[in-house]
């Protein structure tokens, strides 16, 4: 007896599957590398137009911002996280103080901070909330006698009145936490001439700032959203990708902003089918050139520097103790420096951050080796992560609050080490090295070592 007709018999699975495949291929073709690079170039042209209109320098909010700024036009980098502006998660980062932005503002009287966002949003939270919070906090700290600039300013078409009020209620708490770092407020105040005022610019806005130009009592912070959320004729790229540079690890095949701009003409004219091989060749050539990160002194400590492993072999003679985080021991440094070379066996990435936890106790050997004139260099592969963690541990255990080495230190972690002290010492590093990027895992390892 034939089987009765079932509802499932009326569903044409193969056709549905084909449609799904076709839609997937269509989406992938829209998000092709060619479309992304052309979209980035279009957005970069807009950013350069903003810079010309306002006659202000460009600052990239990393990691996206640098894709939209030719290197010769970039005055600096900032590290404002969108996650610090997410609803209900509003935060003022004590790890990313971004005080280097004040230097640009002091030099030029203003700046343009560039970022982008993907489809579905008109503005990244970093520009609509994180930076406005930062401005409100710094204005209160540096200009206490000018309350008219203390209030929070956010774009009303992006941030609701309710959310704005909730964020503003936290500003005093953020100011207090920043004060607890005991920064040199007088020095910071001398860097910038006037309170900061944020304004927002997106593609489609008329580039006219005549009402603000020439105002000497304001440091203008133009927040430029490179990505265009408008559709249709506003794009010169037929398959425009909003926020094309976002999540570059998933599509750029190792290409970064510097390589993109250095090979721009070649990349923009290559057929899509040839781009993967071309990018692979460009990236491979760049890897052959090992870049040195020159040592950065961690002030007010008079004798502690941070660099990357590539520089250690070049500058070791300038230091009394060299501490390297690497997978293998450096034979040359071992031979030359002998007991003044300390090797912390750590790989790169999260595994290295975890390994740091068991390697940090080796630092206890330093107590018997240092003198007030000792110069200490700490390095890792990038000079931004593990080396920062190691330097932080050293600052907390071997240095006093005035930056002098604590002679006669024992080989044990001092009892006075606390979370506020760790935050304070980390601020020393972040002020001197704005691009330092210790991972959460690295800082957790340092805290475990210091706090037991």
369-410 pLDDT, tens digit each: 888 889 999 999 999 999 999 999 999 999 988 888 887 655
User: How far from 248 is each of 125, 209, 298, 422, 439, CA to CA, in Å?
Assistant: 19, 33, 32, 33, 19
pLDDT of 372: 84
pLDDT of 406: 82
Rounded to an integer, the average pLDDT of 241-270 is: 92
Rounded to an integer, the average pLDDT of 42-66 is: 94
**Per-residue pLDDT at 293 exceeds 50:** yes
Average pLDDT along the chain? 87
Please check whether residue 441 is in contact with residue 350, taking contact to mean a CB–CB distance below 8 angstroms. yes
pLDDT more than 90, % of the chain: 70
Nearest to 376 by CA among 433, 315, 290, 331: 315
Residue 118's pLDDT band, with cuts at 50, 70 and 90, is confident
Q: Angle at the Cα of 102 (from 97 to 106), degrees rounded to 5? A: 170
**Per-residue pLDDT at 280 exceeds 50:** yes
pLDDT more than 70, % of the chain: 87
Residue 216's pLDDT band, with cuts at 50, 70 and 90, is low
Q: Which residue has the tokens 């489809």?
A: 119
243-256 pLDDT, tens digit each: 899 888 889 999 99
> 197 pairs with which residues across the strands?
220
Q: Provide the H-helix boundaries in 95-239.
A: 100-108, 125, 131-142, 161-168, 171-179, 185-191
18 vs 263 pLDDT, higher one = 263
Q: How far apart are CA 364 and CA 409, in angstroms?
A: 9
pLDDT of 349: 86
328-367 pLDDT, tens digit each: 999 999 999 988 999 999 998 889 999 999 999 999 888 7
Q: Which residue has the tokens 């106790």?
A: 361
pLDDT of 63: 83
Q: Provide the H-helix boundaries in 129-274.
A: 131-142, 161-168, 171-179, 185-191, 257-262, 264-269
Please check whether residue 369 is in contact with residue 321, taking contact to mean a CB–CB distance below 8 angstroms. yes
Residue 30's pLDDT band, with cuts at 50, 70 and 90, is low
376-380 vs 110-115, strand pairing mode: unpaired
**Per-residue pLDDT at 28 exceeds 90:** no
pLDDT of 3: 57
Residue 417's pLDDT band, with cuts at 50, 70 and 90, is confident
Residue 238's pLDDT band, with cuts at 50, 70 and 90, is low
Note the pTM of the prediction, 2 decimals: 0.84
pLDDT of 195: 97
Residues 6+ apart with CB under 8 A from 417: 396, 397, 450, 451
pLDDT of 239: 83
Residue 11's pLDDT band, with cuts at 50, 70 and 90, is very low
**Per-residue pLDDT at 42 exceeds 90:** yes
Per DSSP (E only), the strands in 158-303 are 196-201, 219-225, 296-297
Residues 6+ apart with CB under 8 A from 228: 42, 43, 46, 202, 203, 204, 234, 235, 240, 242
Length of the chain: 452
Residue 234's pLDDT band, with cuts at 50, 70 and 90, is low
């Amino acid at each position: 007896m034939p089987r009765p007709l079932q509802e499932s018999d009326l569903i044409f699975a193969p056709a549905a599957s084909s449609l799904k495949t076709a839609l997937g291929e269509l989406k992938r073709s829209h998000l092709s590398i060619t479309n992304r690079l052309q979209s980035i170039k279009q957005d970069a042209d807009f950013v350069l137009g903003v810079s010309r209109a306002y006659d202000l320098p460009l600052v990239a909010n990393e990691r996206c911002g640098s894709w939209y700024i030719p290197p010769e036009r970039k005055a600096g980098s900032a590290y404002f996280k969108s996650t610090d502006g997410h609803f209900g998660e509003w935060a003022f980062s004590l790890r990313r103080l971004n005080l280097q932005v004040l230097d640009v503002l002091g030099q030029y009287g203003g700046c343009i901070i560039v970022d982008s966002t993907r489809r579905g949003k008109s503005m990244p939270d970093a520009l609509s909330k994180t930076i406005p919070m930062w401005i409100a906090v710094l204005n209160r700290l540096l200009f206490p006698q000018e309350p008219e600039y203390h209030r929070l300013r956010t774009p009303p078409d992006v941030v609701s009145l309710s959310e704005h009020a909730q964020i503003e209620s936290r500003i005093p708490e953020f100011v207090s936490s920043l004060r607890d770092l005991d920064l040199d407020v007088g020095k910071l105040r001398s860097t910038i001439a006037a309170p900061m005022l944020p304004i927002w610019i997106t593609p489609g806005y008329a580039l006219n700032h005549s009402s603000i130009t020439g105002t000497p009592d304001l440091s203008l912070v133009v927040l430029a959203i490179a990505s265009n959320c408008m559709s249709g004729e506003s794009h010169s790229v037929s398959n425009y990708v909003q926020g094309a540079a976002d999540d570059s690890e998933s599509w750029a095949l190792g290409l970064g902003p510097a390589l993109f701009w250095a090979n721009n003409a070649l990349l923009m004219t290559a057929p899509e089918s040839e781009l993967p091989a071309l990018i692979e060749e460009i990236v491979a050539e760049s890897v052959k050139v090992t870049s040195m990160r020159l040592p950065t002194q961690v002030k007010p400590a008079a004798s502690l520097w941070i660099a990357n492993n590539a520089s250690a072999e070049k500058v070791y003679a300038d230091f009394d103790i060299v501490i390297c985080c690497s997978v293998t021991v450096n034979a040359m440094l071992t031979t030359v420096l002998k007991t003044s070379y300390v090797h912390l066996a750590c790989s790169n990435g999260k595994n290295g951050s975890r390994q740091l936890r068991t390697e940090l106790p080796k630092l206890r050997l330093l107590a018997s080796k240092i003198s007030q004139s000792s110069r200490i260099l700490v390095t890792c592969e990038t000079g931004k992560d593990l080396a920062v963690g190691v330097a932080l541990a050293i600052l907390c255990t071997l240095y006093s609050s005035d930056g002098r080495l604590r002679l006669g230190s024992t080989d044990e972690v001092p009892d006075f080490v606390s979370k506020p002290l760790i935050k304070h010492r980390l601020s020393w590093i972040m002020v001197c090295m704005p691009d330092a990027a210790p991972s959460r895992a690295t800082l957790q390892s340092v805290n475990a070592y210091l706090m037991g």
